[in-house]
Structure 1
């Protein structure tokens, strides 16, 4: 199949069209033997990609749990920017130098074409607008995929990621690494054990934000070690400007989803896991008005409600980013270390990545915690590698994690539309608000769909 036909068949799902031409049985994942190494190709080898590369190759211990990864071979690297440097997140140039035996590419379409039979799995650490295109291309070739959060740039892409992963029977994992931590497991156990009674709400607060801003003016020359057109990829064509990279692309709707799109999956994931949430029934969002057409807000408050069946009130989940608590969160005085609180009929549970605390302190001073029941993770990356070899299922596989991504992205749809959304997950549609349809999907530049 020609590359253009292959890309069209894989990505038409993300834009809401019909499924493209079917692929042969070989497009399903190769079963990697228990004693074989998994041949991994990495798309995005600098910055956050370096951290994933160092972990997946066994050079550094995995974050939060699990020691060093075993059973892998890095066979290819792909990146478009060789300039970035830093002590903890160096640029792709270092990766290209240190992984001498790996094939080197700037265009992941070429890499997937030319090394199809040499690659078992693909790790995607690109900006958000490449997450779904790169992942879906790989999955439709039968490659197992690990993708950084949020894993999609639009709601329909999130749904397509889950669907294609299921259709192609591949092992997948979303890069919400803190899910593998012991602290998150203890929080889940406390809630399910009834430590704070009937839980009615969870409120989350990220104490930072980038203010919305106009698109940068000027057209400086593209640096020689940056492939700007490939960096844009499926996104609208824009002139190069240093304001976008290496990290501020998060701020613009063309490439990212603001602070909610950047960090929402890490925080919201804990509420989804603990409360066994499915999909929100309503979503509403407040922020600076009117919404900037180009960039995300410096502060934002999102309120999700989840139906819990007859006779039970809905569960409320809120997200706030920015320097001040807003909405329901304003009623709680979170200490500096905490970014979230579960509210129950018998108390509260404060949470953060490394820590949690039951309140009121006096009431829970002698509380006897439940015996740990959730087994420790072997590590977020190792879970995925094991699944590539037919052992177990990753804890954040796309079948589960894309529900979190979908909810996060709906928060931005609600903000940009200014509407209280009634979400019909079965139809991938918003009831009584047809004008929001365009915010659920996105178009791609020619050559990327």
Structure 2
């Protein structure tokens, strides 16, 4: 493929099109000279529904149930990967090996070892990769970080990032059932441990099981902690500590904690992650956000905008600077521009950055699961605490293997 900004259409195939994959596909199709040539999902009902919607738009893609067949399609240049987290690594590496450029949903992967495998694969295959951390393309997020970098807040000693999601309720116990007709559940489970079909472990709610994802820590944490690091211009923490549990719903059917506080220690300041389900009233009366707390004032940022709350008499307030654009639409435009110009330096959520923030979020979960204060060795890609290293890699099963590049 030798795209440039004057070339023919970019042909897109989408793998996983029920939720965010469908949003991604709709966003990318707003761009001139981009067309959908293939869709893939393990659920016939999803394929039928989305196929009908595309047909109404005059789009008639080839339909696949097995993503490996889509990757063989020579009419696909770019692949959107929006499957559950435990599939991101394998599908991203396979897509690179097939010569496709990739838009992959966050988090990049479901373990630290998988994140490193995807980065290593792209050193070999050299594809254009955008990760779905679309807030990096949004003007008010960029403006907020510029204000933090200006030094006007004074010395920042604490940064808070949080997701208090009142709409997230208990995962109710449900009985195992037969696999729904038209669903390839073996393929959906892929490298994860085999389980009898249960609706709690399927579609959206996969997020609350360690087999497939990392709960709110990796679902929202990668978005918000990413901006905490960007604002503070730092990389790896000195240590990671976490405490929490199922405090709201002790009998919840999922695995991941509904309440969690994680402390990332850096030189001279801490970054604190908090999440809680069934509570909407988070810090600064926001259900999610990032707060840069300085000696002179605090900048509070969320998807709606940003403002500065001054320490009394120490600086001027900045009123709410509201969101003015669609981060997802801009993120797709950024991706396609980089694809056409064959220039990975244009990407706003590059693979290496996304891998790092996903790893940081996984470190928070590992600190919670071990109960230890963890020290990470960047040189060795291991924790100093040997017990924690048991969580570095997902346990691939069923004939699947972690890619080794």
- Normalised by the length of structure 1, the TM-score is 0.78
Matched, 1:440 2:400: no
- Of the candidates 20, 24, 29, which is equivalent to residue 48 of structure 1? 20
**Per-residue deviation, residues 260-307 of structure 1 (Å, max 9, x unmatched):** 121111111111222222122211110128999971011011111234
- 2:8 is matched with which residue? 36
Task: Tell me, in whole angstroms, the C-alpha distance in 1 between the residues paired with 2:301 and 2:294.
Answer: 14
Shift of 1:212: 8.1
How does 1:147-296 map onto structure 2 within 5 Å? 147-208=104-165, 218-288=175-245, 295-296=255-256
Task: Say whether the 8 Å CA contact 2:259–2:276 is kept in structure 1.
Answer: yes
Shift of 1:36: 2.4
- Of the candidates 29, 38, 57, which is equivalent to residue 76 of structure 1? 38
Task: Tell me, in whole angstroms, the C-alpha distance in 1 between the residues paired with 2:334 and 2:69.
Answer: 28
Task: Say whether the 8 Å CA contact 1:149–1:175 is kept in structure 2.
Answer: yes
- 1:395 is matched with which residue? 348
Task: Tell me, in whole angstroms, the C-alpha distance in 2 between the residues paired with 1:95 and 1:425.
Answer: 47
Task: Tell me, in whole angstroms, the C-alpha distance in 1 between the residues paired with 2:135 and 2:348.
Answer: 11
Q: Aligned with 1:421: secondary structure?
A: coil
Task: Tell me, in whole angstroms, the C-alpha distance in 1 between the residues paired with 2:129 and 2:192.
Answer: 24
- 1:7 is matched with which residue? none
Q: How many residues align?
A: 385
Shift of 1:142: 2.5
Task: Tell me, in whole angstroms, the C-alpha distance in 2 between the residues paired with 1:378 and 1:128.
Answer: 22
- 1:421 is matched with which residue? 374
Shift of 1:225: 2.5
| C-alpha spacing 1:323/1:108, structure 2 compared with 1 (3 Å) | closer
| C-alpha spacing 1:264/1:121, structure 2 compared with 1 (3 Å) | same
- 1:4 is matched with which residue? none
Task: Tell me, in whole angstroms, the C-alpha distance in 1 between the residues paired with 2:122 and 2:195.
Answer: 31
Shift of 1:40: 1.6
- 2:289 is matched with which residue? 339
- Of the candidates 56, 79, 85, which is equivalent to residue 128 of structure 1? 85
| C-alpha spacing 1:139/1:218, structure 2 compared with 1 (3 Å) | same
**Per-residue deviation, residues 132-165 of structure 1 (Å, max 9, x unmatched):** 1111111122221111111100011112222222
Shift of 1:129: 0.8
Task: Tell me, in whole angstroms, the C-alpha distance in 1 between the residues paired with 2:278 and 2:26.
Answer: 36
Moved more, 315-324 or 397-406: 315-324
Matched, 1:106 2:65: yes
- 1:57 is matched with which residue? 29
Q: Note the aligned Cα RMSD (angstroms).
A: 3.0
- Of the candidates 270, 280, 286, which is equivalent to residue 316 of structure 1? 270
Task: Tell me, in whole angstroms, the C-alpha distance in 2 between the residues paired with 1:239 and 1:38.
Answer: 40
Shift of 1:248: 0.8
Task: Say whether the 8 Å CA contact 2:40–2:66 is kept in structure 1.
Answer: yes
Task: Tell me, in whole angstroms, the C-alpha distance in 1 between the residues paired with 2:97 and 2:283.
Answer: 48
**Per-residue deviation, residues 405-434 of structure 1 (Å, max 9, x unmatched):** 110111111111111110012211000x21
- 1:305 is matched with which residue? 265
Matched, 1:118 2:89: no
Task: Say whether the 8 Å CA contact 1:235–1:255 is kept in structure 2.
Answer: yes
Q: Aligned with 1:166: secondary structure?
A: helix
Q: Which has the higher strand share?
A: 2
Shift of 1:227: 1.6
**Per-residue deviation, residues 231-274 of structure 1 (Å, max 9, x unmatched):** 11121111111122321110110111111121111111111222
Shift of 1:226: 1.7
- Normalised by the length of structure 2, the TM-score is 0.86
Task: Tell me, in whole angstroms, the C-alpha distance in 2 between the residues paired with 1:407 and 1:366.
Answer: 32
Task: Tell me, in whole angstroms, the C-alpha distance in 1 between the residues paired with 2:177 and 2:253.
Answer: 23
- 1:25 is matched with which residue? none
| C-alpha spacing 1:301/1:101, structure 2 compared with 1 (3 Å) | same
Task: Say whether the 8 Å CA contact 2:218–2:362 is kept in structure 1.
Answer: yes
